[in-house]
Amino acid sequence: MPINRVPWRNVHFYDASTGATLGGFYQTGSLTEATLVWILGNVLLVVEDHWTVRLRASGRPITPSSNPVVPGDYDIYSNGTIRVSDEAWFSRLISHTVSGRDDAFRDGVCSRDGKCVISGEVNDGAVWGVWAGFQAAHVFPLEHENLWIQFNYGHWITNMDGVVGSSKTNSLQNGLLMSENLHTRFDQYLFSINPDDGHKVITFMPNHWGIDGRILDPICRNPNDAGRVSDEVLRWHFRQCILANMRGAGEPVFETDHPAGTDMMAALRAEPYGKERFEMELASRLRFMAGEG
């Protein structure tokens, strides 16, 4: 069954006028007060009037500083009403590049990065073409290609201007090489990269991964490389990560290890976002059968 993100939170936000819970998150240490103020004002909350946020224990107002957010309870004050944004959040499957149309994507990301760009782990087997334990991850998921097309996100991709008949989701600019265990967590929105804070990695659950506060490896974002990862797709993932982890009660963490004999499709139908995930899984299987990845 899906896991709730609330139990491990050590930061909580409240409407000061009503005491209602507005959200929260787990602060590992890398999320700054400046980023928190931006998140509250631009992603999570809809506020009709000027607002301020204060750490309840001390009454200290939070300002756009580089100080890390201190775990605790935070009260948000405003003369107007405060409500939580209803911006859409999109669940995703755990994506693994297999074959077909993803081949060029996988090979290109591996060639460009050569290491896990999140942890810094170098692939010593690359010289022999061995990539076991490393995976090319799509930042924006293939299963939401219809949304990519609907909102014209293809304009974020600048290295495929001459390509016709493609949505460009398999551009290198939509990919990062990372270790297999981090790829799964990336797809579950358990960590992300904030391109507007020095490309810092921010994690959202207790962990010993050693990546919180690291900087996305420059090898994948060289400004002189036409195939560098797009900051716009990174912003999209970071925003989705905020919605998944910080808004209201948060979004579910989905099971990825289904025991032998489990009817996976039936399990999907019974989960939150089950209809969407069922349809994505079905489309993914059909795409694989057609040899498209």
75 and 129 share a domain?
Answer: no
66 and 105 share a domain?
Answer: no
124 and 257 share a domain?
Answer: yes
Domains identified in the chain, total number: 2
Does residue 70 lie in a domain region?
yes
Global pTM exceeds 0.85? yes
| Helix, strand, coil shares, percent, the chain, to 5 | 35, 20, 50
d(CA 182, CA 135): 9
* pLDDT digits (tens), the chain, 293 positions: 678 899 999 999 999 999 999 999 999 999 999 999 999 999 999 998 999 999 999 999 999 999 999 999 999 999 999 999 999 999 887 665 544 457 899 999 999 999 999 999 999 999 999 999 999 999 999 989 999 999 999 999 998 776 655 689 999 999 999 999 999 999 999 999 999 999 999 999 999 999 999 999 999 999 999 999 999 999 999 999 999 999 999 999 876 544 455 555 555 555 555 545 444 444 444 444 444 44
167 and 132 share a domain?
Answer: yes
Does residue 278 lie in a domain region?
no
Half-sphere exposure of 217 (CA within 13 A, CB side): 17
135 and 48 share a domain?
Answer: no
Does residue 39 lie in a domain region?
yes
d(CA 283, CA 18): 45
Does residue 1 lie in a domain region?
no
**Torsion, Cα of 43, 75, 203, 174 (10° steps):** 0
- Per the structure, the complete domain to which residue 44 belongs is given by 11-84
214 and 129 share a domain?
Answer: yes
**254 touches 277 (CB < 8 A):** yes
Of 84, 109, 138, which marks where a domain is finished? 84
Does residue 48 lie in a domain region?
yes
Residue 226: name the closest of 112, 142, 104, 103 by CA.
112
171 and 138 share a domain?
Answer: yes
Please report, as a single letter, which amino acid is at residue 40.
L
Half-sphere exposure of 197 (CA within 13 A, CB side): 23
Does residue 90 lie in a domain region?
no
d(CA 120, CA 214): 9
Q: How far apart are the first and last CA of the chain?
A: 28
d(CA 193, CA 51): 27
